[in-house]
Chains A and B, each alone.
Chain A
Amino acid sequence: MGRIVLNRDKCKACYLCIDACPKKVLEADSAVNEMGYYPAKVNSEKECIGCAICAKVCPDIAIEKVYYEK
């Protein structure tokens, strides 16, 4: 199981992470961040496999850390 540390105030809502996630763990938030974007958020953390693809495709380095636990 994986865990993502996502800085919602750095996200600019391009949603490339949502498209890239193989398990569809991410979705758009319904509340705006400090820049006025609707950032990505984790909707089902249990599904996350900790592959870090979301972090690698993020152009804003908003996903700062990814953890994995067996």
Chain B
Amino acid sequence: MEQLVYKKPESIRDDFKITFCPGCDHGVAVRLVAEVLDELGVREKTIGIASVGCSVFSYDFFNVDIVESAHGRSLAVATGIKRSKPDKVVFTYQGDGDLASIGLAETIHAMTRGENVTAICINNTTYGMTGGQAGPTTLIGQITTTTTKGRKPELSGYPLKICEILKEVDGTAYVARVTLDSYQSILNAKKCIKKAFEAQLKGLGTGFVEILATCPTNWKMTPQESHARVRGEMSEVFKPGVYKDKVSEAV
């Protein structure tokens, strides 16, 4: 008898269309969130908030209700939805430019208030959708369309380390940074995303996962070279790991 060992998660629409570039880690991140929603059995009461950026097409693949928010304001919208409907599971799916640059104030204040929501941030060190401009997380020396000779700290500052900032915010219950560069790291990433949702379900505070993802198109690399970059120079600056875990402490 043949047994089914893997199938597309229920939380991915049957008529889904992955609109990302070839080899982009966004697709894996979307699938992991969907698998976690399936495993927790909360798909029917989940509301997602899409941001502006490559994540804007979330309604094309997530099989949950999706609200589109203004640029950077996802966590402010999430606050409103969660407070008016506390029985719903609310998550935001944002890029680094959205969460850490344009929406940094909303992000930090929502987390300072300890809103019971989950935030997933895709950090690919660039503004992917608009054509690869320098973002807050762009690495020193990285060539983008707005730092054509590489990012210089004296001109455009240093990369913003989101997890290191948010772990100091009292309202956060879970803060972790993960990568998706290998099968093992994908399994680990899923564990962390699940914890971030458990933080919300247990009412402990905000769950936050930063995913170091690739952007092969704007990095002008193959998917394989992009993963090598995540493992190499990106992981050196943005160190993967669990920064704060009130979920395990609460058990």
Contact = CB atoms under 8 A, between A and B. Distances in A.
Interface of A: 2-3, 10, 12-16, 19-20, 37, 50-53, 55-61, 63-69
Interface in B1-29: 1-8, 12, 16, 18, 20-28
B223 A14 contact: yes
Contacts of B27: 58-61
B1 A56 contact: no
Contacts of B20: 59-60
22 contacts: A3-B2, A10-B18, A12-B21, A13-B22, A14-B216, A15-B223, A16-B23, A51-B5, A56-B6, A57-B28, A58-B27, A59-B26, A59-B28, A60-B20, A61-B8, A61-B31, A64-B7, A65-B8, A66-B4, A66-B7, A67-B2, A68-B3
A37 B22 contact: yes
Main secondary structure of the interface of B (DSSP, over half): mixed
B22 A12 contact: yes
Given A13-B22, A14-B22, A61-B12, A56 B7 contact: no
A69 B6 CA distance: 13
A65 B28 contact: no
Contacts, number: 79
A64 B224 contact: no
B104 interface: no
Nearest to B28: A59
Given A55-B6, A61-B8, 14 more contacts: A15-B224, A19-B224, A20-B182, A51-B5, A52-B5, A56-B183, A59-B23, A61-B16, A61-B18, A63-B6, A65-B6, A65-B7, A66-B5, A68-B5
Q: Which 9 A-B pairs have the closest CB atoms?
A: A59-B27, A14-B23, A12-B22, A52-B6, A66-B6, A14-B223, A67-B2, A14-B22, A69-B2
A50 B106 CA distance: 45
Given A14-B23, A14-B223, A15-B223, A59 B3 contact: no
Which of A13, A59, A65 has most B Cβ within 10 Å? A59
A50 B7 CA distance: 12
A8 to B, nearest CB: 14
Contacts of B2: 3, 67-69
A14 B22 CA distance: 5
A37 B23 CA distance: 12
A60 B20 CA distance: 8
